[in-house]
Amino acid sequence: MLPAVAAVLVSLFLPPNLIHCRNVGIYERIKVSCGPDSEPSAPRPLKSQGDGSTFSGRVRDIKNSSATCAATRRDAFFHGVSSFTFASLILVAGSWGRTSTPPAGATAPPGGISVDALSGLVYEDVLGSGSYKTVYLVSGRDDRVQYALAVQRLRSKRDVADALRGVRVAERLRFLIAGVREDANMFEKFEGWWVQDKGPQYEIGRMVFPFGLPKRWSQHLPGSFLGSKWLFALKPVYDMDLRKFSRKIPDLHPVGRSERMEMAVAGVKLSGNSAVQLATDLCRAGRLMHSAGVVHGDIKLKNIMLYHGRIVLIDFGFARTAEAFTDGRGGRRMCASEPGRAMGEVGYVLAGDVALYRNCREGDVYAMGKTIYEVLFRSGESEDGAMEFSGRRAVTEFAAAEENTKFRVELSGAKVGSVSRFHMSVGTRDALLEVIRSMCRENTPVSFAEAEEILERVKDDSI
């Protein structure tokens, strides 16, 4: 910046047209040099002609020279302005498209991304957008590695607390299960995250950090909350969530057909083996989560991603560390409560949990059982033909009870499981439905560990 400013100042005060006007008493010498190769005009003595021509000629020469000086100064001024404008455009263009070089001592937020990769990130596209969160596709300018940059607007301290909890719980789960990489990958991964006061300046081709990396990465709940905050989180680019997966396969096929289908969506083959493996992986992720003392509280199709054919459980904003206690019937339960706040989506929560403002282990099991059923057997078509898996109703005890009853009646119907997105045998269908019913029954539902054990036994029976 400083060299450009110096160049502009030099162009203003030392223009290419050099002007030198001097009055030498009885003689007027005017030298106007308009270029490096031009010669100054020779001095002309002022001789009296007796008719006043001497004086008038002198005045005429001075006027001409003054006009020349003024024009040259004007040219010099516009030359300086042009130089300044040109230098400014160069500076702006440089900050727009350059490969950012991280300053000495720069650091990256905790996670897997390096300082060099972070400083060179460029916006490519918008992957998705909602009321509170927008996900951008970004990539490194040099290595072209792609990331999903999730930007969530936080309007209150509660929003900030939920957002930070969602990150920290996922990181804790991955840390506790780090010994088995395949298991750790079942939970959301963050390459880096931070909270800042300003939202993203999105435009395709623009750098995420056009003016360099922040001096400090904030990862704490602010003491005061004036205006909005934004949570930025870098994640892998997942293939799709289970809701989109289900919509990509709207046609259901009769169960028990003998032909094999080699079709695959997002790395998942539409076979009976794959259906059992998908359900087993979902129950395994739930078992690992509950073993770590965490209750998710918001399991549903949209919060389970597919990545290279494997499931990834995301969005731990409602997750809580559960406490074990003994209920009135002598059973041991794991629950987390937040008085006055009903969490989750009404189609996936238990009415009893909503009434007591709590999230319990049984609620997670119920939500996962319903999710498995929807992705395997439910068409999701409402009366008008639109894809609709669970309505966006207010989370109340009455609405949750109505949804619970309706789903359990559907599970007990005579035609349940007659068609599926996956090509499976009748025996595989029956085993899967038995597990789903045991997860979603009202009294003494099975745990994730018990459901996983049952599914492990039926895996080899599928076609």
Structure confidence at residue 302 (pLDDT): 93
Report CA-CA distances (Å) from 155 to 130, 131, 150, 159, 332. Answer: 15, 12, 16, 6, 38
> Rounded to an integer, what distance in angstroms lies between the CA atom of residue 388 and that of residue 392?
10
**In the predicted model, is pLDDT for residue 10 greater than 60?**
no
**In the predicted model, is pLDDT for residue 35 greater than 70?**
no
Structure confidence at residue 263 (pLDDT): 83
> Rounded to an integer, what distance in angstroms lies between the CA atom of residue 194 and that of residue 156?
16
Q: Give residues with Cβ within 8 angstroms of 50, minimum separation 6.
A: none
* 461 within 8 A of 431, measured Cβ to Cβ: yes
β-strand pairing of 133-140 with 27-33: unpaired
Q: Give residues with Cβ within 8 angstroms of 19, minimum separation 6.
A: 32, 33, 68, 69, 72, 73
Tens digits of per-residue pLDDT, 87-115?
A: 444 444 444 444 445 544 456 665 667 77
Q: Where are the beta strands (DSSP E) in 370-426?
A: 419-420
Structure confidence at residue 67 (pLDDT): 52
H/E element holding 132? none
Mean pLDDT of the chain: 76
Of the given ranges (83-92, 145-154, 190-199), which has the lowest mean pLDDT? 83-92
Of the given ranges (94-108, 200-214, 227-241, 341-355), which has the lowest mean pLDDT? 94-108
Highest mean pLDDT among 137-141, 342-346, 433-437: 433-437
> Rounded to an integer, what distance in angstroms lies between the CA atom of residue 373 and that of residue 393?
20
Structure confidence at residue 144 (pLDDT): 79
Structure confidence at residue 1 (pLDDT): 45
Percent of the chain scored above 70 by pLDDT? 65
* 439 within 8 A of 366, measured Cβ to Cβ: yes
Tens digits of per-residue pLDDT, 42-55?
A: 444 444 444 444 44
> Rounded to an integer, what distance in angstroms lies between the CA atom of residue 173 and that of residue 161?
18
Structure confidence at residue 59 (pLDDT): 43
Dihedral sign computed on CA atoms, order 178, 184, 187, 188: positive
Confidence band (pLDDT; 50, 70, 90) for 392? low
* 353 within 8 A of 333, measured Cβ to Cβ: no
Region 68-80: mean pLDDT is 51
Q: Which of 186, 152, 439, 194 is nearest to 317 (CA)?
A: 152
> Rounded to an integer, what distance in angstroms lies between the CA atom of residue 246 and that of residue 168?
29
Structure confidence at residue 97 (pLDDT): 43
> Rounded to an integer, what distance in angstroms lies between the CA atom of residue 413 and that of residue 374?
15
Confidence band (pLDDT; 50, 70, 90) for 226? low
Q: What is the DSSP string of 306-317?
A: EETTEEEE---T
Q: Give residues with Cβ within 8 angstroms of 195, minimum separation 6.
A: 154, 160, 163, 164, 218, 219, 220, 222, 229, 230, 231, 232
Confidence band (pLDDT; 50, 70, 90) for 215? low
Structure confidence at residue 194 (pLDDT): 84
**In the predicted model, is pLDDT for residue 148 greater than 80?**
yes
Of the given ranges (8-12, 126-130, 244-248), which has the lowest mean pLDDT? 8-12
Query: What number of residues does the chain have?
Result: 463
Percent of the chain scored above 90 by pLDDT? 40
* Radius of gyration from C-alpha coordinates of the chain: 36
> Rounded to an integer, what distance in angstroms lies between the CA atom of residue 341 and that of residue 359?
11
Dihedral sign computed on CA atoms, order 316, 318, 321, 322: negative
**pTM of model > 0.85:** no
Region 285-289: mean pLDDT is 96
**In the predicted model, is pLDDT for residue 39 greater than 80?**
no
